[in-house]
Structure 1
Amino acid sequence: MGHWLHRNIIEPGKLPLLLALTSFVVTFVVTRVITRTIRAGKGPFRNVKAGGMHIHHVVPGVVLTVIGGFGAVASGRNGFGSVLCAILFGVGAGLVLDEFALILHLDDVYWTEEGRKSVEVVVVTAALVGLVLAGFVPFGVNDVSQEEFQDRGGVIVTVATSFLFSLVALSKGKARTAIFGVIVPVVALVGAIRLARPGSPWAKRFYRRRPRARARSSLRAYHHDRRWAGPRRALEDWIGGKPDPLPTRLPGPGPGPGGR
């Protein structure tokens, strides 16, 4: 069954990648289900503590990622060892990126607005790996013909051009477009051609003396955020759970005589 699946559905050498992606997604989903039940006080699961210290699941995630990564390097691309290491790596990566916001902020922001970054990073990672699994190669090398591929100059020009498009899109404040553009160059091309977002390095450098371009950039960003911010937040809430509401700050007593 495994040989048939490998020979007829999956391209040679991509079975470990498929298993890593599957275990990554399943681990993230299971982890979010467990954390949401813990948050609601339901089910048999509880936070793991050792000596009164809360052990975040990023800790076993790092251990599994290291074991799976080094094991994959040592075992090669075929055999049971590569399959096992791919699964371990996917599980570890799922646990680590589920707490990406904690690593970024060095604070327990899991159920805060900042914690949404973890969900976004997981979704983007899964999408990128899925594109690679579907046959896309970074920087558009998959679009190069066999003759061009044998010519190193052609490959270098293709990679450099695709990288330049992604870099321009990134400088225009379009990080997601730049990231996906690494895999699908036409996405980076679109991001490089369109107006930069206000506040981006490109806008600060090239729109400083162009008030009309600044106005168009701000207006386009406003309409884009107004259209997509709500659906994106709803999707993130559905996947990862709603953040805790911000505490309401009660008005404090006024300053006393001579105080501030």
Structure 2
Amino acid sequence: MLGAFLVTFILTRVVTRLIRAGRGPFGNAKIGNVHVHHDVYGIFLMMCAGAGEFVYRPPPPWLQVLAVAFACGAALTLDELALWLYVKDVYWAREGRTSVDAVLVAACVGGLLLLGANPLSDEAETDPSVWAATTTIVGNLAFSFVALMKGKISTGLIGIVVPLIALVGAIRVAKPHSPWARKWYHAGSSRLSRSRERFPADERTWWESVKDKIGGFTQT
């Protein structure tokens, strides 16, 4: 699933860039004058794959086929997450970086599932080491969530698989326009002043540059 998810996302970005540049045999899908976004295909693909698994419970290799189909649909859908949030086509705008964030978060979670313990397995009921590993994973995800709420996207994402980075990101000051700062850093407070000093408004991080290159964003 993780491999299918990443490959689909990469191919989708390549195709959309070719369409934008007017190169290759690709073009925007339309029904009449309506532009059909690729998240529509992703939603239907996930629905069909999910229904097929729930209804038929197929044995291998069809189980793997449905898993790949579901992952492909998830990639197509999350690649246009910004469209859901802003209810307008911001695919190439700065707001479109939200979609790249969503895809990278999903990929990190997929990697974590590959590396982590399965708390729903039969061994989890009797093996203390499984519960210890699960507790560690849940705690680390909590630190990563706090880091993401503080506006530290790169720290939060990397921290999903590197616990120390998540802890550091959760402890340090939040970015001034992050959800955490809006909730806890009141106007005129020393914490808000330190946040603005640490993260100037005109500063661009390496992570934002990476997302620009991945997404192909050019609008300001």
What TM-score, normalized by structure 2, do the two folds share?
Answer: 0.76
Greater alpha carbon shift after TM alignment, 165-174 vs 59-68: 165-174
Deviation (angstroms), 1:211: 4.5
Aligned runs of 1:5-16 on 2, under 5 Å? none
Rounded to whole Å, the distance in 2 between the matches of 1:58 and 1:204 is: 31
Deviation (angstroms), 1:199: 4.7
1:192/1:235 CA distance change after superposition, 3 Å: closer
**Residue of structure 1 aligned with 2:105, choices 124, 137, 140:** 124
Correspondence for 1:93: 74
1:222/1:46 CA distance change after superposition, 3 Å: same
Q: Contact (CA 8 Å) 2:185, 2:191: kept in 1 or not?
A: yes
Secondary structure of the 2:173 match is: coil
1:136 aligns with 2:116: yes
- Structure 1 counterpart of 2:12, which letter? T
1:235/1:201 CA distance change after superposition, 3 Å: closer
Correspondence for 2:214: 239
Correspondence for 1:35: 16
Correspondence for 2:63: 82
Secondary structure of the 1:79 match is: coil
Ranges in structure 1 where 5+ consecutive residues have no aligned partner:
1-19, 140-144, 247-260
Rounded to whole Å, the distance in 2 between the matches of 1:24 and 1:160 is: 23
What TM-score, normalized by structure 1, do the two folds share?
Answer: 0.66
1:117/1:149 CA distance change after superposition, 3 Å: closer
Rounded to whole Å, the distance in 2 between the matches of 1:83 and 1:198 is: 44
- RCO higher in structure (CA 8 A, sep ≥6): 2
Aligned runs of 1:34-183 on 2, under 5 Å? 34-74=15-55, 76=57, 79-133=60-114, 135-137=115-117, 146-147=127-128, 149=130, 165=143, 168-169=146-147, 172-174=150-152, 177=155
Q: Deviations over 1:84-130 (max 9, x none)?
A: 10111111111111111111111111121212221222122222212
